[in-house]
Amino acid sequence: MSVSPVAPREPGDAYGRVAELHAIRERARGGTGRRATEAQHAKGKLTARERIELLLDAGSFHEVEQLRRHRATGFGLEAKRPYTDGVITGWGAVEGRTVFVYAHDFRIFGGALGEAHATKIHKVMDLALAAGAPLVSLNDGAGARIQEGVSALAGYGGIFQRHAKASGIIPQISVMLGPCAGGAAYSPALTDFVFMVRDTSQMFITGPDVVKAVTGEEISHNGLGGADVHAEASGVCHFAYDDEETCLAEVRYLLSLLPRNSQENPPADDSEDPAGRRCDALLDLVPANGRLPYDMRAVIEEIVDDGEYLEVHERWATNVLCCLARLGGRTVGVIANQPQFLAGVLDARASEKAARFVQMCDAFNIPLVTLVDVPGFLPGVDQEHGGIIRHGAKLLYAYCNATVPRISLVLRKAYGGAYIVMDSRSIGADLTYAWPTNEIAVMGAEGAAGVIFRKQIAEAADPEAMRVRMVEEYKSALMHPYYAAERGLVDDVIDPAATREVLIRSLAMLCTKRAELPPRKHGNPPL
């Protein structure tokens, strides 16, 4: 069978046009060329497209407005009109679920934001909200494009407005992979989670040069706004990692624990960890003596599925732990006092950290499990002047306002106002359990006895012996493990080894919980 020869194609016919399209797309994907890519790699940074490939499932990315170019003139801009305008936008999948993404391309205008650049981001943010899917921003830009003036600033305003509109509706995750200065830093601050990479990413409102000019202080970029600073000192950063590959892998893991939007539940996972597994190790992990410290992380690891959890704000306000994990295959948010640091007391930072986490979990239908071992609020002039009342009220408000399933478990101490704030029965916990080692009281026995029996102790022939006797009397009357249970403030006192099974069964019962808040425009929480 003979085959007719293919006739030559004219440049203007359909085949020629398609060839032209492919050539343009290839230019757009290449950015500004090999040298710019090599310069990016020389800084230890991946390109925007390499980052997207790591974040999303292979072959799932669909780019939007790849051929967009700016229309600005002046300062030589009319001669530089690269495709994408320095930001790559679109959608793909993470473990098969839709995720929207935009990534600054530092090779083009240093990733600086101009009018066209901003419009592309607005487009993908609107699509994410309309589709009800998470939004991930891969940030590596030099801020507003100075040559475009106020048009660039207006572009940031549109981004901020959309972040606020989407808040609590879809998960928003910011991944800091380069510099983020000035007003641009408010974009990640408005999102649910901020990831940073050490040495290559920084965030600050005014850079080191401005700080030196105004205050005389000399400081490096990382010293002012690096990953460790924001992970430990400011609390701006939720997660910090040594390299981009690990960082993006953890973003994928976080997304696997979250629902696509506030109208859905987080995805369930078929865990092979038996729901009825006994946790006998807990009897050794937690000393009965309330004065002895221990690592609450070990308790969480023993209870949750396969011992896996993702700790949020791991290095900030370390006296309270906030973790995402699974129990019986269901995502849960765990809030726990950490006796290893400051004896697990609540202070201003810990209250703020936990309040934010509770609000996030409630927004995205993640049940709350609270592990309580708290001796109270941290006393001191600094705490009072720093607004401990206001910050403690944030946590109280967050719990009271939460409508997701809520279970609290008192392991040892639960004293004073801190007991109430840590999701006690009186502020709406659905179920409250306690271990036989629990001590729920207004304050510790020593302090209480010193107040109640002050006169008797002072007048006794042997004040110290009288004090010891009064402490024991107070403990036996008001602080025995079953006092709260007898009054219905604790639903049950449980064997610590049965903790995992009790929590999983309770969460299964509460999974159909429906609760509504009173009609209102919005609440007015303490700030």
pLDDT per residue over 449-461, tens digit each?
A: 666 777 777 777 8
Catalytic residue among 158, 168, 207, 417: 417
Same domain, 221 and 300: no
Same domain, 297 and 412: yes
Q: Which amino acid is at 491?
A: D
Chain mean pLDDT for the chain: 90
* pLDDT, tens digit (0-9, with 9 covering 90-100), for 193-210: 999 999 999 999 888 888
pTM score: 0.91
Same domain, 308 and 285: yes
Q: What are the backbone angles phi and psi of residue 373, rounded to the nearest 5°?
A: -155, 80
- Quick count: other Cβ atoms within 10 Å of Cβ 345? 21
SS3 194: strand
Q: End-to-end alpha-carbon separation of the chain, Å?
A: 82
The per-residue pLDDT for 16 is 83
The per-residue pLDDT for 5 is 53
User: Is 182 a catalytic site residue?
Assistant: yes
Number of domains in the chain: 3
The per-residue pLDDT for 449 is 64
Same domain, 293 and 210: no
Residue 299 within a domain: yes
Same domain, 121 and 199: yes
Residue 429 zone, left/alpha/beta (φ > 0; ψ -120 to 50; rest): beta
Catalytic residue among 158, 182, 235, 447: 182
* Residue 297 token pair: 């992380």
Residue 409 within a domain: yes
Same domain, 238 and 345: no
- Quick count: other Cβ atoms within 10 Å of Cβ 512? 7
CB distance 138 to 105 below 8 Å: no
* Residue 167 token pair: 């808040």
Same domain, 228 and 366: no
Residue 224 within a domain: yes
Q: What are the backbone angles phi and psi of residue 362, rounded to the nearest 5°?
A: -65, -40
Catalytic residue among 183, 207, 329, 447: 183
Residue 294 within a domain: yes
CATH number at residue 416: 3.90.226.10
Residue 416 within a domain: yes
* Residue 367 token pair: 């049940």
* pLDDT, tens digit (0-9, with 9 covering 90-100), for 19-58: 888 888 888 787 777 888 888 888 889 999 999 999 999 9
Residue 271 within a domain: no
Same domain, 158 and 231: yes
User: Is 155 a catalytic site residue?
Assistant: no
User: Is 157 a catalytic site residue?
Assistant: no
Same domain, 411 and 459: no
The per-residue pLDDT for 485 is 86
* Residue 283 token pair: 């009897």
Listed as ranges, residues in the chain with pLDDT below 70 are 1-12, 73, 76, 79, 443-445, 447-451, 477-479
Q: Which amino acid is at 139?
A: N
Tell me which residue of 138, 153, 222, 211 sits closest to 183, measured CA to CA: 153
The per-residue pLDDT for 2 is 47
Same domain, 193 and 252: yes
What are the Cα distances from residue 333, in Å, to 182, 310, 326, 452?
A: 33, 10, 8, 39
The per-residue pLDDT for 459 is 73
Unique residue bearing structure tokens 């690891």: 301
CA 57, 114, 84, 107 dihedral sign is negative
Same domain, 428 and 448: no
Residue 216 within a domain: yes
Same domain, 449 and 412: no
Catalytic residue among 48, 240, 418, 449: 418
Domain around 323: 281-438+481-510
Residue 517 within a domain: no
CA 156, 159, 164, 168 dihedral sign is negative
CB distance 356 to 395 below 8 Å: no
Torsion of CA 425, 302, 293, 229, to 10 degrees: -90
CB distance 346 to 374 below 8 Å: yes
* pLDDT, tens digit (0-9, with 9 covering 90-100), for 357-387: 999 999 999 999 999 999 999 999 999 999 9
